[in-house]
């Protein structure tokens, strides 16, 4: 009996993705069986800004890579060693692939699992240098270590009703929340969010959930700033040739914030009259400039070790010109790295199910079908104030 067909979003070189037939997933890791894995029929799979870095040609991603690390699906096959999940369960897939057995996983550091990527700690689906795992912007995908990795939703019908929100649990909602937690956001705090892309908007919504008194979002795209204002954020237009401290003072009455969250990363551009020029350290330097002494800076925005499209030779290997002495002098705390999704996703699921947050509305989820993915990538690259979510089987539309 032949396997069902499968199609996925494939990276074809800088600026190009295509929908192609790909192999149907097997419960296998190389030549050995993957009895701890499951095969999911994908319900939703999202386009991420991290994917966009690869598609722009700003990483060493190989052509032919099946993209996608933000996955929600229903189990259609389970390996022999899967004990606590069943065929038919609807689950969220953390973008981190984690074994659950190594010292980092046992400490809750699932973003830097030691056993799932021969090249370095940490792995993800469909991403450069992250272990070679097949991505989930597809109709079907294999998930290893399923009992440990997957978050089962309590009720499948309820999950489908809330799927536009729940699909964000695989990455951007926990990532934005993690950025805020590591920046020290809490009741009454003032927060600056750098970047109003989907992760920045998710961080802003998370800051509200955590009780921030004032959430300020900075960006250069008018539609994204308008989206941030739609759920109660103050905004700063970084195209203006006006010092950020002056703009903060106009909002807060003071020139610093308690907490700073970098949701931009290494493709940052200079502010004001230099906004068309790339300046990869500009957000980090701004963070040290406008965060109060003793404050914390959360950095969920992506920084890379290899960037072939960087503005200079130093940036091509991730060496940025930071004014680190200022951060040292102000006793700042910096928190970097991938979000350990499992640390947060169950509680954030509860916040969604009990309607404590409307995260899909905050990030402006736009549903598309699999064949519309190339246009979704193009629109996202053009600065659309939307989070594109692919519905590969038409199950959400139905």
Q: What are phi and psi of 349, to 5 degrees?
A: -60, -45
74 near 43, Cβ under 8 Å?
yes
Judge if 7-171+340-390 and 175-335 fold alike in CATH terms.
no
Say if residue 272's pLDDT is above 80.
no
Better-predicted residue by pLDDT, 309 or 19: 19
Neighbours of 329 (CB within 10 A): 11
What is the total residue count of the chain?
Answer: 398
pTM of the model: 0.96
User: What's residue 199's pLDDT?
Assistant: 97
Question: What CATH class does 175-335 carry?
Answer: alpha beta
Mean pLDDT of 8-19: 96
- Stretch among 6-10, 156-160, 257-261, 394-398 having the lowest mean pLDDT: 394-398
pLDDT band of 268, cuts 50, 70, 90 = confident
pLDDT band of 307, cuts 50, 70, 90 = confident
User: What's residue 239's pLDDT?
Assistant: 93
User: What's residue 2's pLDDT?
Assistant: 59
Distance CA 340, CA 35 (A): 24
72 near 167, Cβ under 8 Å?
yes
Say if residue 202's pLDDT is above 90.
yes
User: What's residue 276's pLDDT?
Assistant: 67
> To the nearest whole number, what is the mean pLDDT of the chain?
95
Say if residue 1's pLDDT is above 60.
no
94 near 144, Cβ under 8 Å?
no
Domain extents for the chain? 7-171+340-390, 175-335
Say if residue 271's pLDDT is above 80.
no
Q: What is the CA radius of gyration of the chain?
A: 20
Chain segment 134-172, per-residue pLDDT in tens: 999 999 999 999 999 999 999 999 999 999 999 999 999
pLDDT band of 26, cuts 50, 70, 90 = very high
User: What's residue 275's pLDDT?
Assistant: 64
148 near 370, Cβ under 8 Å?
no
Say if residue 274's pLDDT is above 70.
no
User: What's residue 235's pLDDT?
Assistant: 98
7-171+340-390 belongs to CATH 3.90.180.10: yes
Mean pLDDT of 8-18: 96
Say if residue 17's pLDDT is above 80.
yes
User: What's residue 381's pLDDT?
Assistant: 92
């Amino acid at each position: 009996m032949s396997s069902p067909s499968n199609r996925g979003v494939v990276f074809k070189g800088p600026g190009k993705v295509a929908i192609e037939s790909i192999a149907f997933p097997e419960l296998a890791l190389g030549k050995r069986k993957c009895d701890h894995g499951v095969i999911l029929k994908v319900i939703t799979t999202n386009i991420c800004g991290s994917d966009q870095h690869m598609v722009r040609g700003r990483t060493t991603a190989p052509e032919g890579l099946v993209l996608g690390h933000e996955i929600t699906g229903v189990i259609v096959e389970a390996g022999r060693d899967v004990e606590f999940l069943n065929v038919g369960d609807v689950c969220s897939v953390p973008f981190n692939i984690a074994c659950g057995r190594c010292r980092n996983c046992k400490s809750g550091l699932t973003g830097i699992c030691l056993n799932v990527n021969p090249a370095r700690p940490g792995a993800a689906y469909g991403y450069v240098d992250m272990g070679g795992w097949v991505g989930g912007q597809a109709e079907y995908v294999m998930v290893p270590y399923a009992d440990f990795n997957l978050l089962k939703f309590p009720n499948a019908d309820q999950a489908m009703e809330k799927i536009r929100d729940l699909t964000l649990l695989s990455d951007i909602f926990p990532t934005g929340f993690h950025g805020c937690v590591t920046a020290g956001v809490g009741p009454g705090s003032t927060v600056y969010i750098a970047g109003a892309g989907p992760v920045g908007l998710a961080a802003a919504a998370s800051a509200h959930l955590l009780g921030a008194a004032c959430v300020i979002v900075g960006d250069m795209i008018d539609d994204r700033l308008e989206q941030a204002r739609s759920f109660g954020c103050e905004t700063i237009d970084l195209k203006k040739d006006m010092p950020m401290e002056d703009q903060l003072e106009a909002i807060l009455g003071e020139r610093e914030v308690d907490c700073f969250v970098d949701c931009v990363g290494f493709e940052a551009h200079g502010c004001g009259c230099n906004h068309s020029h790339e300046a990869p350290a500009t957000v980090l330097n701004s963070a040290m400039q406008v965060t109060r002494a003793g404050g914390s800076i959360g950095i969920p925005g992506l920084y890379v070790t290899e960037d072939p499209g960087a503005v200079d030779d130093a940036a091509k290997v991730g060496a940025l010109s930071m004014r680190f002495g200022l951060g040292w002098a102000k006793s700042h705390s910096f928190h970097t790295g991938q979000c350990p999704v499992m640390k947060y996703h169950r509680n954030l699921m509860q916040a969604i199910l009990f309607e404590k947050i409307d995260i899909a509305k905050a990030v402006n989820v736009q549903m598309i079908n699999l064949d519309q993915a190339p246009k979704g990538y193009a629109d996202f690259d053009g600065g659309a104030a939307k989070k594109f979510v692919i519905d590969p089987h038409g199950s959400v539309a139905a």
